[in-house]
């Protein structure tokens, strides 16, 4: 609308109005700002040009100009207050907009008119578009809210962190710390406020025993480094036994932020895992994996010129200990042996349990072979001390094989095999001894291993049989019985005596298998002779220590006698002195006593070559003493032979002399009163098929 038209409209509407109002209207109608003149009922009397320009935004159409102006409830309330009090009122109104249009806000200032003390007749409303300001304020509030929420989340995260966190400025004054940090070091509130010097916190930790064991070394290496821009992480042991992992990271202003994590349990768990992975749970010694690691390290050092030694140790007859005395006794033995091993060797030596009764020791940085053999001697002295368990006393017997690597030109990885060869030699030589590897042993051991392989095959193919050597009763001048002797019907070498496969009797498993063959063949043959009416007397079978160590020998022999239907008084079992007096003497004693009570004759074989005493002879049920052929065939030992015969006679035992080959030997034994004899003078061991004929021929000769 042009200014001329507005002027005419004002003039037309001003007819009859006071001059002041006419002037007011004239001033307002052309104003560029949104201004409205309202009557006391809030009906529009005039809109300025600025208001009319905002008609679309302010939603004022010509049809609304005759009704009260009601932009919002706040606007109406502000207008009423203004007219009631005469004070200027302001309000902000959100103007509804059409879909898709940006929202708008106006701020209105409402003033009563006139303001000269006269009664109000009009209300002047001045509007201002504050959309940008409102939007800016909203964005500011939203940003402030987001910051507050972020700070709240940060505070929550900080307070609920499982690890302690602290931040210090370049002057080592506390900026902040979380709950975990305060709890970790029992910090009071006064030491948790920003600005607290680091030294005050450390002094407090010292005073309550929660400080690093070496403050100076730790903080010189980490805090000072962090202040200079270098990150650092270290595990710190506290006075109270905990381990704290502290990580320092520099921050831009020259200070640092640090995390404090209590890793005590994780370190203990790692140590436990390490223990389980590399320690034997029964003895606490390093296990096979730890041994292999130590051995590999020693081999690597040997390649640089270091001398090292390796010892392999097996407990003799350990399986028999478990079988006869129980696994508790076996465990007690292994624990005792572990303690003796640790006492005998240096702390720097790796003493490991490989499994079962197998142990190994790696000795590093040796100067000579004596450095290895000396602790072996100490160990052997320690092993002589009896072990007490559950009211029983027993000693540990062990076979020890040792090897040393001192030749820089030799391959150190062969040491493991060399020590095994030496251990095998110790067992072959009779056990309960130590052997240091020598190169010539390898061939001997390989030959024995091949022999054992052939014996196993021969047993499976039934190549072992029994030959029988007669035992002659001198008083009756008759065949009193036979001793069953093992023979190997070798497919290439013919019939071989026990001396050709003696190594098999030293092997525990093969000894048991050969013993089984001997009993089955002997009892089967005895049954056949009984059925044929052959008067063979008694048959003697030699019992090995391995058979006794099973703890089942008496029951097994009794069962076999019953199965073959052979009377017990037809059987003699021969036991050597070494078996009687060796390991498990109580087991041997119980076994022979049960057999003796069942009617089986008990003979003590090779008497005089071992270390049986008169007390032992009274303790064990012995029916026969067998004089070893070495005494019978040596004329200088006649006094010994006579003494044994007199001893047997005085104790109610019959005496059998072995190895009688010449008439003068027979005459001497007869003169001394020997009861029975056997040897080549009467017959060599013969196949079972020749026994009946021999008995008949001997009877006919008288």
pLDDT digits (tens, 9 = 90+) for 99-111: 767 788 899 999 9
Q: Are residues 112 and 80 in the same domain?
A: yes
What's residue 11's pLDDT?
A: 47
Which of residues 218, 247, 267 is at a domain's end? 267
Residue 299 scores a pLDDT above 70: yes
Instruction: Write the CB contacts of 296 (distance below 8 Å, at least 6 apart in sequence).
Output: none
pLDDT digits (tens, 9 = 90+) for 517-558: 999 999 999 999 999 999 999 999 999 888 887 888 999 999
Q: Band of the pLDDT at 493, cuts 50, 70, 90?
A: very high
pTM of the full structure = 0.55
Residue 466 scores a pLDDT above 50: yes
CA 124 to chain centre: 91
Q: Are residues 508 and 627 in the same domain?
A: yes
Which of residues 239, 267, 295 is at a domain's end? 267
Residue 4 scores a pLDDT above 50: no
Q: Band of the pLDDT at 616, cuts 50, 70, 90?
A: low
Percent of the chain past pLDDT 90, that is, above it, reads 51
Do 245 and 218 contact (CB within 8 A), yes or no? no
Q: Is residue 141 part of a domain?
A: no
What's residue 215's pLDDT?
A: 55
Lookup: tokens for 531: 């059925």
- Across the chain, mean pLDDT equals 87
Question: Which stretch of DSSP H or E encloses residue 167?
Answer: strand 164-168
Q: Is residue 146 part of a domain?
A: no
Residue 396 scores a pLDDT above 70: yes
Q: Is residue 143 part of a domain?
A: no
Q: Are residues 465 and 613 in the same domain?
A: yes
Q: Are residues 465 and 607 in the same domain?
A: yes
What's residue 427's pLDDT?
A: 87
What's residue 10's pLDDT?
A: 43
Q: Are residues 314 and 285 in the same domain?
A: yes
Number of domains in the chain: 4
The DSSP letter of residue 212 is B
Q: Are residues 513 and 660 in the same domain?
A: yes
Instruction: Summarize the confidence of residues 122-138 as an average pLDDT.
Output: 91
Q: Are residues 108 and 165 in the same domain?
A: no
pLDDT digits (tens, 9 = 90+) for 577-607: 777 665 556 778 889 899 999 999 999 887 7
Residue 72's CATH number: 3.30.450.20
Q: Are residues 693 and 608 in the same domain?
A: yes
Instruction: Write the CB contacts of 99 (distance below 8 Å, at least 6 apart in sequence).
Output: none
Instruction: Answer with the residue of higher pLDDT: 97 or 68.
Output: 68
Nearest by Cα to 510 from 556, 447, 449: 449
Q: Band of the pLDDT at 394, cuts 50, 70, 90?
A: confident
pLDDT digits (tens, 9 = 90+) for 180-215: 999 989 999 999 999 999 889 888 888 887 766 565
Do 594 and 561 contact (CB within 8 A), yes or no? no
Distance between CA atoms of residues 336 and 315, nearest Å = 12
Q: What number of residues does the chain have? A: 702
CA distance to 47, 110, 498, 549, 572, per residue, from 633 (Å): 154, 148, 20, 33, 24
Q: Are residues 558 and 668 in the same domain?
A: yes
What's residue 217's pLDDT?
A: 60
Do 511 and 489 contact (CB within 8 A), yes or no? no
Percent of the chain past pLDDT 70, that is, above it, reads 90
What's residue 635's pLDDT?
A: 85
Least confidently predicted of 122-126, 130-134, 226-230, 347-351: 226-230
Instruction: Give residue 404's domain range.
Output: 279-437
Q: Are residues 241 and 300 in the same domain?
A: no
Instruction: Summarize the confidence of residues 632-642 as an average pLDDT.
Output: 90
Q: Is residue 449 part of a domain?
A: no
Least confidently predicted of 141-145, 208-212, 372-376: 208-212
Q: Are residues 473 and 584 in the same domain?
A: yes
Helical spans, DSSP H, in 185-263: 198-207, 215-221, 223-227
Which of residues 387, 409, 437 is at a domain's end? 437
Q: Are residues 17 and 44 in the same domain?
A: yes
Lookup: tokens for 387: 């072990």
pLDDT digits (tens, 9 = 90+) for 416-443: 999 999 998 998 888 889 999 998 888 8
Instruction: Answer with the residue of higher pLDDT: 592 or 217.
Output: 592
Q: Band of the pLDDT at 261, cuts 50, 70, 90?
A: very high
What's residue 13's pLDDT?
A: 52
What's residue 362's pLDDT?
A: 97
Instruction: Summarize the confidence of residues 395-411 as an average pLDDT.
Output: 86
């Amino acid at each position: 609308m042009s200014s001329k038209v507005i002027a005419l409209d004002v003039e037309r509407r001003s007819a009859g109005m006071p001059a002041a109002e006419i002037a007011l209207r004239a001033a307002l109608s052309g104003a560029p700002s949104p201004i409205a003149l309202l009557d006391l009922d809030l009906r529009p009397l005039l809109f300025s040009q600025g208001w009319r320009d905002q008609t679309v935004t302010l939603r004022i159409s010509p049809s609304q100009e005759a009704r009260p102006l009601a932009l919002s409830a706040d606007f109406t309330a502000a207008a009423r207050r203004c007219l009631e009090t005469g004070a200027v009122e302001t309000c902000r109104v959100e103007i509804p907009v059409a879909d898709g249009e940006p929202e708008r806000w106006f701020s209105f200032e409402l003033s009563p008119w006139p303001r000269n003390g006269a009664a109000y007749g009009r209300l002047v409303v001045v509007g201002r578009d504050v959309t940008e300001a409102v939007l800016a304020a909203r964005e500011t509030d939203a940003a402030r809210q987001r910051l507050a929420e972020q700070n709240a989340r940060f505070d929550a995260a900080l307070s609920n962190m499982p690890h302690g966190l602290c931040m210090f400025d370049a002057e080592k004054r506390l900026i902040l710390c979380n709950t975990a940090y305060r709890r970790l070091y029992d910090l009071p509130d006064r030491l948790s406020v920003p600005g607290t010097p680091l030294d005050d916190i450390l002094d407090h930790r010292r005073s309550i025993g929660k400080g690093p064991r070496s403050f100076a070394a730790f903080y010189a290496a980490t805090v000072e480094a962090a202040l200079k821009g270098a990150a650092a992480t270290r595990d710190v042991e506290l006075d109270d036994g905990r381990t704290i992992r502290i990580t320092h990271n520099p921050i831009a202003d020259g200070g640092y932020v640090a995390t404090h994590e209590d890793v005590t349990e994780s370190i203990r768990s790692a140590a436990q895992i390490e223990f389980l992975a590399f320690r034997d749970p029964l003895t606490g010694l390093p296990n096979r994996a730890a041994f292999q690691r130590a051995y590999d390290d020693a081999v690597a050092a040997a390649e640089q010129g270091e001398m090292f030694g390796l010892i392999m140790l097996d407990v003799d007859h350990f399986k028999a200990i478990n079988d006869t005395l129980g696994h508790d006794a076996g465990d007690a033995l292994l624990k005792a042996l572990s303690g003796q091993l640790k006492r005998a060797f240096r702390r720097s030596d790796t003493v490991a349990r490989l499994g079962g009764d197998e142990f190994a020791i790696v000795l590093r940085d040796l100067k000579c072979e004596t450095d290895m053999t000396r602790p072996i001697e100490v160990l052997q002295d320690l092993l002589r001390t009896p072990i007490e368990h559950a009211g029983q006393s027993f000693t540990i017997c062990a076979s020890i094989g040792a090897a040393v690597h001192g030749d820089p030109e030799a391959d150190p990885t062969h040491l493991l095999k060399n020590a095994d060869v030496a251990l095998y030699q110790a067992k072959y030589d009779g056990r309960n001894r130590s052997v240091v590897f020598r190169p010539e042993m390898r061939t001997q051991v390989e030959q024995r291993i091949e022999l054992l392989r052939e014996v196993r095959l021969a047993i499976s193919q039934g190549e072992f049989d029994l030959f029988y050597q007669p035992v002659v009763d001198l008083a009756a001048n008759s065949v009193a019985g036979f001793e069953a002797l093992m023979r190997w019907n070798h497919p290439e070498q013919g019939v071989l005596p026990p001396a050709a496969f003696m190594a098999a009797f030293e092997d525990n498993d093969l000894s048991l298998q050969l013993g089984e063959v001997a009993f089955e063949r002997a009892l089967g043959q005895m049954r056949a002779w009984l059925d044929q009416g052959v008067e063979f007397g008694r048959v003697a079978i030699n019992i090995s220590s391995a058979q006794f160590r099973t703890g089942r020998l008496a029951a097994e022999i009794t069962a076999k006698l019953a199965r073959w239907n052979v009377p017990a008084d037809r059987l003699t079992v021969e036991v050597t002195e070494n078996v009687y007096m060796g390991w498990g003497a109580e087991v041997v004693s119980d076994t022979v006593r049960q057999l003796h009570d069942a009617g089986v004759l008990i003979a003590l074989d090779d008497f005089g070559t071992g270390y049986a005493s008169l007390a032992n002879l009274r303790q064990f049920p012995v029916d026969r003493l067998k004089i070893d052929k070495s005494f019978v065939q040596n004329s200088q030992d006649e006094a010994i032979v006579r003494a044994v015969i007199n001893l047997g006679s005085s104790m109610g035992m019959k005496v059998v002399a072995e190895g009688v080959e010449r008439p003068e030997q027979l005459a001497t034994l007869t003169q001394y009163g020997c009861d029975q004899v056997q040897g080549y003078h009467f017959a060599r061991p013969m196949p079972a098929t020749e026994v009946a004929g021999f008995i008949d021929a001997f009877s006919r000769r008288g």
